[in-house]
Structure formats: C-alpha cells, structure tokens
Amino acid sequence: MGPQLGADVIVEDKGGAGGAIGSETVARAAPDGRTVLLASLGSQVISPTLRTPSGYDPVKSFDPVMLVGSVPSLLVVSPRLGVSSLNELIAKAKNQTMTYGSAGPGTTMNIAGELLNAGAGLKISHVPYRGAAPAINDLLGGHVDMLNADFPVLLPLVQSNSVKALALFGAERSPLLPDVPTTAELGFPSVVMENWYGVFLPAGTPPPVREKLEKALFAVLEVPSVKERLAANGMHGTLGSEAFKTRLTKEFAYWQDTIKKLGITAE
C-alpha cells in the first residue's frame, strides 16, 4: 500500500487477548487514517462475543473499510484413524470416544468442532491447546484424532499426505482441493466456518480518508503477485466498505446466537 498512499506502511503485530489488544490500540488511535487495523472474524466478532472488551466497542469503535477475503476452515484427521470420508468419521465417532484439538476455548477451531458435534449429533471431546501449532503437532503425533483450522494453514499438510482432508466447512468447493466436499453438500448446511480478514479504521475517520484507503486496497489486490498469493491460499470474496458493513451486522447477530446455543465459553 505504500506506493498507493505515498507513505511508509509499518506492520506492528499486537498479539494477545484473542486480538483485543490490537483492536483496542486502533480503537483508541486518532481517526486520521494513519492507524489501520487488520482483523479477522475471530478477533473482531467471536472474541468480543465471548468476552466483552472493556476498552472499546467492537461495533461502534470502528469504521469498516474492506473485507479482504474469506477462507473456509478444513476438517482433517490423522491418516492412522482409518477414515476417508465425513460419513465414516461420524459413524466411527458414534461408536467410540474421539477427540478434536483446537487453539483454545472460544477459538474458531473450537467453535467449528462444536458445530460438527451439534450438526451430526456427536460428542467428540474437545482438547484445547495454547495455539494452533501445538494442536496440529499433536494431531501429527496421533495424540488427537482430528481438528479444524483455516484452509491455508492445513493445505500444505494435506498436499504432503500428512493429514487426510474430509470436508470444507463452507458453501463451495475449493479449486485447490477439488475432490474435498463441503459440509453443505454432505447434508450439514449449518456446519459452516469461514474465517475472514478485514481492514478497519477508528470510528469517526473522515469519509474521504476512508475512501482513499479503500481505493488503495482495491488497487493492491489487483497486483498480480498479491492476487496469486491470496488465490494460492484459498482466499475469496472481497467486499467494499458498505457491503462489509452489512455483512458485519449479520455476523454479530449470527455468532452471538450460535455461540450461545452451542454453550461455548472463553474459559
């Protein structure tokens, strides 16, 4: 974005509290367009739904600029489990104790696992970890039976046959794994988890400033190398500010209701 904006762009990672630390930093920044937030469904919608942040309002504190894109989550199992389809997994899970790993309570990985439990009438046990990496390591080591994570995280492991992909938790198949069916086509339309990544500004940023940033972002997404990199990771569905704002309204309502029904907490 630097050349598009005529400015230096510095990426500052602000980890912690499910993304709340980074979000609060931007929420408290001056609304002059100089401080921008790149957030996800997990950090911007699900985390504040599970634990109300004290330093900002997840809706009122930000002006949406662009939804860069979404990636479906992917359900994978250890090859040693001996199943090759979601139906086989469900049948096996109804007859024996099984486990799924996640990056921790209240994460999108946890919610995806409980969506499967609810949708298929299962009781697969949740094993939380401190992040996705140790959960994936334990899947590879055979200590948990399955997990669900963002498509680009798991794609290299599927391609190397380290794990077996059973289903995309989305509405459409991915051209990167065309033989892997979606939960929707397998008869579980409510078992959908697509993580998105979007850009926000502090609330009250002047419209011309927001529009300039939105224009720069659209231009960057048309750069061939950027477009190719995003496509190679299964990213799709860019939305401008108004469409993104409309989607956010639906996302907050949907996940507040769904998380309550699933009985998921952040602890």
pLDDT above 80: residue 17? no
User: Does the pLDDT at position 155 exceed 90?
Assistant: yes
Question: For the chain, what is the total number of helices (H) and then of strands (E)?
Answer: 11, 7
Inform me whether the pLDDT recorded for 19 exceeds 90.
Answer: no
Instruction: Tell me the two tokens of residue 175.
Output: 């051209």
Q: 157-182 pLDDT, tens per residue?
A: 999 999 999 999 988 899 999 999 99
Q: How far is CA 95 from CA 88, 91, 124, 167, in A?
A: 11, 7, 11, 21
pLDDT tens, residue by residue, 217-250: 999 999 999 999 999 988 999 999 999 999 999 9
Assign 77 a pLDDT band (cuts: 50, 70, 90). very high
* Per-residue pLDDT, 106: 87
Rounded to two decimals, what is the model's pTM?
A: 0.88
What is the model's pLDDT at position 171? Answer: 83
- Domains of the chain, first to last: 2-70+199-262 (3.40.190.150), 72-169 (3.40.190.10)
**DSSP H or E stretch at residue 38:** strand 37-40
